[in-house]
A and B are shown apart, each in its own frame.
Chain A
Amino acid sequence: QKEVEQDPGPLSVPEGAIVSLNCTYSNSAFQYFMWYRQYSRKGPELLMYTYSSGNKEDGRFTAQVDKSSKYISLFIRDSQPSDSATYLCAMNPDSWGKFQFGAGTQVVVTP
């Protein structure tokens, strides 16, 4: 079983809708949680970074962490066609070299 599970999608939504993404994990030692956006044939770009449990908002993006359920989420409001990409979750137990990544969810926002 993988340490981080992420539905590969594709997740197709109409423009303006809310995109809801999530990852589950098994290692309770994870403390730091990240979301990345990756366009086709490009490197991942950091979107959100969260420490421990709670919510964090940045513009149209909201990240949530529920450590009791080992579940993290990313919400994208007012989605745009430019949001079409693969979204990766990542986490770290505060021990270097030990980042774990989800396989990524492909999102398609249709005009």
Chain B
Amino acid sequence: DGGITQSPKYLFRKEGQNVTLSCEQNLNHDAMYWYRQDPGQGLRLIYYSQIVNDFQKGDIAEGYSVSREKKESFPLTVTSAQKNPTAFYLCASTLSPRGNTIYFGEGSWLTVV
């Protein structure tokens, strides 16, 4: 079945450590996105990528980094510079950069202690 796979589902890290969240899609979608979801705040865009080896900052990119070396993969690194990293992270994709329907993975819960 086609879809977006995120791993790990749950992740605990100590403060000051970097952590990388994996996102893989087999939908053959061109564009991929990372969102952060906090209670009562809706989804906030961290980074998005239109094509391989290209990505753009979203609204809350500080403290995060991404790479897009393959079309199907868009990993997100939460660095120690991110002041409040505990959150639910969602990877998403659209068929094309101007795609009008966005599809989501199952999410990754990151808890920093």
A residues at B contact (CB < 8 Å): 2, 4, 6, 8, 31-32, 34, 36, 41-46, 49, 51, 88, 90, 92, 94-97, 99, 101-104
Q: How far is the CA of A95 from the CA of B31 in the complex (A)?
A: 12
Number of A-B contacts (CB under 8 A): 66
Interchain CB contact under 8 A, B99 and A96: yes
30 contacts across the A-B interface (CB closer than 8 A)? A2-B42, A6-B42, A31-B100, A32-B101, A36-B104, A42-B106, A42-B107, A43-B4, A43-B6, A43-B90, A43-B106, A43-B107, A45-B104, A88-B42, A88-B43, A92-B100, A94-B98, A96-B31, A96-B94, A96-B97, A97-B48, A97-B50, A97-B56, A97-B58, A99-B45, A99-B102, A101-B42, A101-B43, A103-B40, A103-B41
**Residue of chain B at shortest CB distance from A8:** B40
* Interface check B63, CB cutoff 8 A: no
Which residues of chain A are near B58, meaning CB under 8 Å? 97
* Interface check B12, CB cutoff 8 A: no
Which residues of chain A are near B6, meaning CB under 8 Å? 43
Which of B41, B99, B103, B109 has a CB less than 8 Å from the CB of A46? B103
Interchain CB contact under 8 A, B107 and A41: yes
Q: How far is the CA of A101 from the CA of B48 in the complex (A)?
A: 16
For window 87-113 of B, CB contacts with A under 8 Å fall at: 88, 90, 94, 96-107, 109
**Residue of chain B at shortest CB distance from A6:** B42
